DNA sequence: GAAGAAATGCAACTGAGTAACAAAAGTATC
DNA sequence: GATACTTTTGTTACTCAGTTGCATTTCTTC
């Protein structure tokens, strides 16, 4: 999976990177993103400011890199789907599985640290703004995978479907988090999330026309 | 429409604002967004730096405020649609009208300054990133209008349809611009844009299921 | 025309991000 | 195990976006 170039040097790099990110997120959660300076973070992590920026290109990346792992997940799901499944069916199944596992990417995770982390991202404009950039790459990847899966569909439809699916997925994740953060019990939130996911995919599959739109 | 609080003071304010924005965009088009500092802009516009920031909250706004006029247009179209039209039908008709008028918002405008302006926005990461924030507000407004138009639809479906429509509209606009910027003649680009708009709305209305997704 | 309000300029500041260069630490070679 | 080489780090100083406080000018109002 991930290259482990081994050696003492690489090990220390990983540790430093982890230490910086942990320190930063800890401070952000305690005091708010805008009220912590990178200089403070660097000092708390016992590292100089230039070093900090050698590990993370921007202040926002200190937070958002944790979400980068799941980038391109939708595209992978489409590519690796078993033969009988349509792309949308595979995406739906995968999404339901992630919901059942209470995976943070779905927004449905009751862990207090995760909830606080998501609140940090959603409540900080510069973070949620940057998050949209990530999502853009996700759309690109999914569009490519869809075009590959349906060679006869042209270039436009896959792109549009990718925009729609990723947009909807993101919207549902935000909704899931909002409910949990608002105090809704997990089991209830999970039932709602499942129902909404099924409804959303049905909407994507069957269109909005039949519903009066 | 727009308040005109009259008076010599208000007039000068409008003029100053216009002068600052024009100066800034001129410099950006000439040298690139990242290679012009706000200090330069302020100097060229014969204004101090704090004054510049009293008119525009960020460097990006100097460019993007020109797109703010059309914010909430989709929501308005839905609210003011004539009785027999469904929301999607009204949005489609309006979009086709804007295309016929070669309205810059559609991306289909051959004016060299407009083309260059859009290139500036699309090719500058911090600008296209900020543009997404605008679009977010557009989605919110359309979601509200759709929920109003279909009281029985619940809260979820209107939101999802809004996400889908605005996302798709944006994608098509980018495509239109790319073609014109790449040298495609306007008439041809217009025909393609019309066809794609119709196809996109058909996709939204009828769903992706029937197309193998 | 004078009093009050609003807009501007000036100077100095904070905070993100970068560049140059020197010091230190890890790796490889004999 | 010392030596030469490469990578990582710290220090200092810088650029640039955006802000603040205060004095000054400019418009409005009476």
The chain-wide mean pLDDT, for chain B, equals 95
Clarify whether residues B180 and B93 are in a common domain: yes
User: For residue B5, is pLDDT > 80?
Assistant: no
Specify whether B84 is located in the same domain as B19. no
CA of residue B15 to C1' of nucleotide D27, angstroms: 15
Q: Is A2 domain-assigned?
A: no
Query: For the purposes of burial, counting CB atoms within 10 Å of the CB of A134, is it exposed (0-12), middle (13-18) or buried (19 or more)?
Result: middle
Let me know if residue A110 belongs to a domain. yes
Same domain, A70 and A53: no
CA–C1' nearest nucleotide, residue A48: D10
CB A201 within 8 A of CB A92: yes
Give the chain A residue whose CA is nearest to the CA of B164.
A164
Count of structural domains, chain A: 2
Instruction: Give me the helix-helix angle, B156-181 and B125-149, nearest 10°.
Output: 140
Q: Which residue from A153, A163, A203 is facing B171, i.e. has the nearest CB?
A: A163
| pLDDT above 60 for B1 | no
pLDDT tens digits, one per residue of B54-74: 999 999 999 999 999 899 999
Q: Do residues A181 and A141 share a domain?
A: yes
Query: Is A3 within the bounds of a domain?
Result: no
Other Cβ atoms closer than 10 A to A15? 10
- Residue B7's pLDDT is 72
Average pLDDT (B30-43) is 98
Flag the least confident range among A3-7, A198-202, B138-142, B186-190: A3-7
Assess whether pLDDT exceeds 50 at residue B2. Answer: no
For residues A85 and A170, membership in a common domain is answered with: yes
The reply to whether B132 falls in a domain is yes
Q: Which of A59, A79, A95 is the last residue of a domain?
A: A59
Same domain, B30 and B91: no
Residue B162: its pLDDT value, please?
Answer: 98
Q: What is the pLDDT of residue B4?
A: 52
How would residue A3 be classed by pLDDT, with cut points 50, 70 and 90?
very low
CATH number at residue B141: 1.10.357
A107 and A72 Cβ atoms separated by less than 8 Å: no
On whether residue B175 sits in a domain, the answer given is yes
Give the mean model confidence (pLDDT) for residues A40-57: 98
Please indicate, yes or no, whether residues A87 and A28 belong to a single structural domain of this protein.
no
Average pLDDT over residues A52-78: 97
CA separation for the pair A68, A4 (Å, rounded): 18
Residue A46 domain flag: yes
Mean pLDDT score of chain A, rounded to an integer?
95
Q: Quick check: A157 and B207 CB within 8 A?
A: no
The CA distance from A168 to A51, in Å, is: 38
To which H or E segment does residue A12 belong?
helix A8-31
DSSP labels, A181-211: HTT--HHHHHHHHHHHHHHHHHHHHH-SGGG
Å between A46 CA and C18 C1'?
A: 20
Query: Where in the sequence is the domain holding B75, given as residue range(s)?
Result: 67-208
pLDDT in tens, A106-164: 999 999 999 999 999 999 999 999 999 999 999 999 999 999 999 999 999 999 999 99
Eight-state DSSP code of residue A90: H
Q: What is the pLDDT of residues A163-197, one digit of tens each?
A: 999 999 999 999 999 999 999 999 999 999 999 99
B88: in domain: yes
Which residue of B151, B159, B208, B211 to mutate against A (max A Cβ within 10 Å)?
B208
- For residue A115, what is the enclosing H or E element? helix A112-123
Chain A CB contacts of B203 under 8 Å are 157, 160-161, 207
Same domain for B88 and B174? yes
Give the mean model confidence (pLDDT) for residues B26-37: 98
Which nucleotide in the DNA or RNA is closest to residue B40, CA to C1'?
A: D16
List residues with CB under 7 Å of strand D. Answer: A 9, 12-13, 16, 46-51, 54-55; B 7-10, 12, 36-39, 49-50, 53, 57-60
Interval A5-25 mean pLDDT: 88
Instruction: Answer yes or no: do B167 and A171 touch at CB < 8 A.
Output: no
Pick the closest to residue B33 from B166, B145, B122, B140 (CA basis).
B122
Using beta carbons and an 8 Å cutoff, which residues of A are at the interface with B?
86-88, 125, 129-130, 132-133, 136, 146, 150, 152-153, 156-157, 159-161, 163-164, 167-168, 171, 175, 196, 199-200, 203-209, 211-213
For residues A139 and A161, is the Cβ–Cβ distance under 8 A?
no
What integer pLDDT is reported at residue A9 of this predicted model?
Answer: 77
Contacts of residue A9, Cβ cutoff 8 Å, sequence gap at least 6: none
> Does residue B58 reach within 7 angstroms of strand C, measured from its CB?
no
Chain B neighbors of A152, CB-CB under 8 A = 212
Give nucleotides in strand C with any atom < 7 A to a protein C-beta. Answer: 6-12, 14-20, 26-28
Residue B11's pLDDT is 87
- Residue the block writes with tokens 């060229």: B44
Beta carbons within 8 Å of A41's beta carbon, 6+ residues apart: A20, A23, A24, A27, A52, A62
For B167-190, write each residue's pLDDT tens digit.
999 999 999 999 999 999 999 999
DSSP annotation string for B61-126 = HHHHGGGGGGTTHHHHHHHT--TT--HHHHHHHHHHHHHHTT-GGGT----HHHHHHHHHHHH-HH
Does residue A190 share a domain with residue A140?
yes
Phi, psi of B40 (to 5 degrees): -60, -45
Pair (B169, B147) in one structural domain: yes
Q: Quick one: which of B111, B114, B122, B101 has its CA closest to B190?
A: B101
Q: How far apart are CA A20 and CA A38, in angstroms?
A: 10
Looking at residue B10, its pLDDT comes to: 84
CA B82 and chain centroid, separation: 24
Contacting residues 141-200/A vs strand C (CB within 7 A):
none
**Virtual torsion, Cα A50, B35, B108, B138, nearest 10 deg:** 50
CATH number at residue B52: 1.10.10.60
> Percentage of chain B with pLDDT > 90?
94
pLDDT given at position A11: 87
Please judge whether B132 and A130 are an interchain contact, meaning their C-beta atoms are less than 8 angstroms apart: no
Distances (CA, A) of A1 to A69, A128, A212, B154: 12, 29, 47, 43
Phi, psi of A180 (to 5 degrees): -60, -45
Separation between the CA of B63 and the C1’ of C16 (whole angstroms): 22
Measured in angstroms, what separates residue A8's CA from nucleotide D4's C1'? 20
Are the Cβ atoms of B167 and A167 closer than 8 angstroms?
Answer: yes
Nearest to B200 among A152, A160, A200 (CB): A160
What distance in Å separates the CA atoms of residue B4 and residue A167, rounded to the nearest whole number?
39
A44 pLDDT exceeds 60?
Answer: yes
- Do the beta carbons of residue A78 and residue A90 sit within 8 Å? yes
**Radius of gyration over every alpha carbon of chain B, rounded to an integer in angstroms:** 19
For residues A87 and A188, membership in a common domain is answered with yes
pLDDT tier for residue A2 given thresholds of 50, 70 and 90: very low
Determine, yes or no, domain membership for B2. no
Domain shared by B134 and B158, yes or no: yes
Q: What are phi and psi of A56, to 5 degrees?
A: -135, 125
The angle that helices A112-123 and A125-149 make with each other, rounded to 10 degrees, is: 100
- Taking CA atoms, A134 is separated from A57, A66, B118, in Å, by 14, 12, 22
- The string of DSSP letters for A92-114 reads HHHHHHHHHTT-GGGT----HHH
Cβ distance of A153 and B199 shorter than 8 Å: no
Q: What is the DSSP string of A132-158?
A: HHHHHHHHHHHHHHHHHH-GGGTTHHH
């Amino acid at each position: 999976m991930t290259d482990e170039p081994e050696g003492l040097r690489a090990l220390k790099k990983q540790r430093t990177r982890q230490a910086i990110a942990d320190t930063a997120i800890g401070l952000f959660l305690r005091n708010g993103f805008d009220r912590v300076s990178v200089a403070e973070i660097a000092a708390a992590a016992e590292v100089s400011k230039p070093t900090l920026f050698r590990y993370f290109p921007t202040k926002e990346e200190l937070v958002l890199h944790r979400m980068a792992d799941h980038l391109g997940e939708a595209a992978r799901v489409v590519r690796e789907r078993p033969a009988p499944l349509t792309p949308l069916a595979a995406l739906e199944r995968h999404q339901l599985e992630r919901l059942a596992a209470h995976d943070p990417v779905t927004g449905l995770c009751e862990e207090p640290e995760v909830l606080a982390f998501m609140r940090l991202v959603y409540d900080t404009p510069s973070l949620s703004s940057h998050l949209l950039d990530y999502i853009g790459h996700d759309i690109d990847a999914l569009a490519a995978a869809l075009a590959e899966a349906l060679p006869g569909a042209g270039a436009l439809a896959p792109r549009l479907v990718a925009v729609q699916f990723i947009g909807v997925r993101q919207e549902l994740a935000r909704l899931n988090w909002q409910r949990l953060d608002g105090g809704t019990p997990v089991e209830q939130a999970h039932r709602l999330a499942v129902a909404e996911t099924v409804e959303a995919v049905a909407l994507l599959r069957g269109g909005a026309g039949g519903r009066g739109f």
